[in-house]
Amino acid sequence: MKTTTQCVLFLLITNLAFAQLKEEKSVVLFTGTADTIFNGTTLVLYNKAVGIHDSVLVNHGKFEISVPYKGPTRYMFYSKFELKKKGGYSPYGILISEPGIIQMDANMETLSNSVVKNAPENKLYMDFTKQGNTARQGINDKLIAKFGPDVLKNLNQKDPQYDEIIKYYKVLNDENNKLEVERLKTFIKLHNNSFASVYLLNSLVSNISVVNAQSLYNLLGPKYKETSYGKNIASTIEARKITAIGKIAPDFEQADTAGKMIKLSSLRGQYVLLDFWASWCIPCREENPNVVKAYKKFNKKGFTVMGVSLDQPGKKEAWLSAIKQDGLTWTNVSDLKFWNNEVVKLYGVQAVPQNFLLDKEGKIIAINVKGEALDQKLTEILMK
């Protein structure tokens, strides 16, 4: 039996060994438990931002997986058991701001129900998002209360109540967004030097007004402003300032499908929908028929489209195939750099699909007009 002195010495040696490991290799060690019925099940870890993808098998109800620490970020996990059973999975993210040991009690059947310890930044982030999820559920509850339990099932434009439902949803969503901005403001004031604050603002910067985004950014302390996330907030705010309604759309030049360099300004004299999309983006592909419909209806009246694709390096064939399949017969350009596309950075695009509607002089007159809203806007402009 070990004496108390031996136990203390053992703990000191263990802590010293890990401290040395952190210093030498700078790692994050995820150590966890799972029900033994999941022995042999694979847990996958990934982070595209830092280029990490790894996996580990559950053995005797336990697992360990370590990754190099490359700065504050959020590591994502999924369970192959959940993927196989459900045909999909709910990824679970853990926010990390320093090297260390993170403890997980993993629910391999529904990984999003896992419990994480020893990750204070992650707890701050999860507590904030949990409140937001409750608010979002409140919107659904109000829609159901007004329009019935099946309101969100197979909702489409053929529904006779579609316009009324969308209008009411927009009112609820706008109200919720205002509350979310205030809630984020309070959170940042309380945790201005927290990585969770930077990560949250980076996630939401495209969904709030530029004025609010700048105000919230100014509240952040200096600790994490120089991370890639902090720098992205600043660059996105600046990009949105120069791509606001009423501004002349920044000009650019990029290769079309044949490799010919095309300038946005070469389309002056027409109303142009600058459409950011990608072949891999399901919502983009679902929106494409609406853009095709608008193009066919208004092209002869002075309307055209320039599609900017976020397709990945080496994936040109996927891009070309999607253009053909979806009937995108307008000008299509891309540098095939995924999210590092130079035009994406220039316009501060954080999610796709996204679009900017330009007038004949290249001035931005609308942002993110989709579906019926695009048809209505073009009808208003071109069918006078």
pLDDT tens across 99-115, in order?
Answer: 999 999 999 999 999 99
Average pLDDT over residues 193-220: 94
Query: Cα–Cα distance between 171 and 139 in angstroms, integer?
Result: 10
Please report which confidence band the pLDDT of residue 51 belongs to, taking 50, 70 and 90 as the band edges.
confident
Comparing 141-155, 269-283, 311-325, which segment has the lowest mean pLDDT?
141-155
Between these two residues, 160 and 1, which has the higher pLDDT value? 160
Cα 330–382–308 angle (5° rounding)?
Answer: 25
Residues in a beta bridge with 9 = none
Per-residue b or e along 349-370, where b marks 16 or more CB atoms closer than 10 Å to that residue's CB = bbebbbbbbbbeebebbbeebb
> Is pLDDT above 50 for 4?
no
> Is pLDDT above 60 for 1?
no
| Mean pLDDT of the residues in the chain | 91
Please report which confidence band the pLDDT of residue 15 belongs to, taking 50, 70 and 90 as the band edges.
low
Between these two residues, 356 and 157, which has the higher pLDDT value? 356
| CB of 273 closer than 8 Å to CB of 265 | no
pLDDT tens-digit readout, 16-27: 544 544 444 599
Percent above pLDDT 90 for the chain? 79
Burial degree of 300 (CB within 10 A; 0-12, 13-18, 19+): exposed
Torsion of CA 336, 342, 347, 348, to 10 degrees: 90
Please report which confidence band the pLDDT of residue 358 belongs to, taking 50, 70 and 90 as the band edges.
very high
Locate 200 and state its tokens.
């949250």
Average pLDDT over residues 320-335: 97
- Listed as own residue / partner, the contacts of 205-210 with beta carbons closer than 8 Å and 24 or more positions apart are 205/232, 205/233, 205/236, 205/237, 205/350, 206/236, 206/240, 206/348, 206/349, 206/350, 206/351, 207/177, 208/177, 208/180, 208/181, 210/237, 210/240, 210/241, 210/244
Please report which confidence band the pLDDT of residue 191 belongs to, taking 50, 70 and 90 as the band edges.
very high
Please report which confidence band the pLDDT of residue 328 belongs to, taking 50, 70 and 90 as the band edges.
very high
Domains by residue range for the chain, with CATH = 4-118 (2.60.40), 122-242 (no CATH), 253-382 (3.40.30.10)
Average pLDDT over residues 106-132: 94
> What pTM, to 2 d.p., does this model score?
0.79
In this prediction, residue 88 carries a pLDDT of: 84
> Is pLDDT above 70 for 9?
no
